[in-house]
Amino acid sequence: AEIKKTKAVIMENELLCDGIYSIWLKEESIAKVAKPGQFLSIYCKEGSRLLPRPISICEIDDEKTMLRIVFRVAGAGTNEIAEAKKMDEIEIMGPLGNGFFLENTSNSILIGGGIGIPPMLELAKNLPGKKQIVLGYRSETFLVDEFKLYGEVIIATEDGSIGTKGNVIDAMREHGITDGMIFACGPTPMLRGVKSFASEHNLVAQLSMEERMACGIGACLACVCKSKDKDHHSNVNNKRVCKDGPVFYADEIEL
Ligand code: FES
């Protein structure tokens, strides 16, 4: 689909938990074509510079007129987005990236870690069949009740305050999860763990590496990762997470 740079209107801005915000944006032309796992570049000012922040799409409303983003405030740019008020206008570009490949699976395992959790929500809505949803948090949870609408939710927290004490892999072992197509988004160490879990159980895994992105628009090359596709000139082909991903099959990339 065509990428558009346009203005969106803030329809709702809610603090979900410490530092995590949920914003609904009205922008029909992007909402109509966006797919789960794609992301937006949100433009914000840092000092005098206007810079894009890549933020994944958490949800698209049923009428396909609005997009939801759920993000963590991690600096001046994201703080500016978090302070936006209802009816404010914000410049966005999207939909960006390839999104998840919606294969016709009867049994899926959705795995989200930290700020990799939000994009799994629109995916959960769109995947057919049985879904087990494994969510890893530091301590405070968010979006859990919304995920429960779409499948069985299993929680891991680093401090053990809710669910399994440990990470998403610990939670999957505790609950005996061994079968299904894996869809995951989260920090690189988590994706590395998911990749080895998948190969241990002989499962296909799609990994979204969005944490690695910086500019989000193919300009900075901060997001380059090694892929196993060979091109004509070398044994290793570098891929930009923001342009060629953020979703890759686990066996396509080195982590
Ligand atoms: Fe800048 Fe991909 S994030 S090139």
- Interface confidence, given as ipTM, is 0.97
Residues 132 and 238 in one domain: yes
- Other CB atoms within 10 Å distance of the CB of residue 221: 11
Predicted confidence at residue 236, as pLDDT, reads: 58
Predicted confidence at residue 54, as pLDDT, reads: 92
Q: Which of 65, 96, 127 is the last residue of a domain?
A: 96
Predicted confidence at residue 96, as pLDDT, reads: 95
101 falls within a domain: no
- Other CB atoms within 10 Å distance of the CB of residue 249: 14
Residues 67 and 20 in one domain: yes
What's the CATH number where 154 sits? 3.40.50.80
CA distance 234 to 151: 44
Cβ 224 under 6 angstroms from ligand 1 = no
Cβ 218 under 6 angstroms from ligand 1 = yes
Cβ 209 under 6 angstroms from ligand 1 = no
CA distance 12 to 230: 46
Parallel/antiparallel/unpaired status of strands 39-46 and 89-96: antiparallel
CA dihedral 38, 43, 46, 51 (to 10 degrees): 70
Predicted confidence at residue 76, as pLDDT, reads: 87
Q: Residue ranges of the chain with pLDDT lower than 50?
A: none
Domain that holds residue 153: 107-252
Predicted confidence at residue 238, as pLDDT, reads: 85
Residues 115 and 225 in one domain: yes
Is residue 117 within 8 A of residue 190, CB to CB? The reply is no
Site to substitute for ligand 1 among 221, 225, 248, most atoms within 8 A of C-beta = 221
Q: How many helices (H) and strands (E) does the chain have?
A: 7, 16
Alpha helices in the chain (DSSP H): 28-33, 76-82, 119-126, 144-147, 168-174, 188-200, 241-244
Total domain count for the chain?
Answer: 2
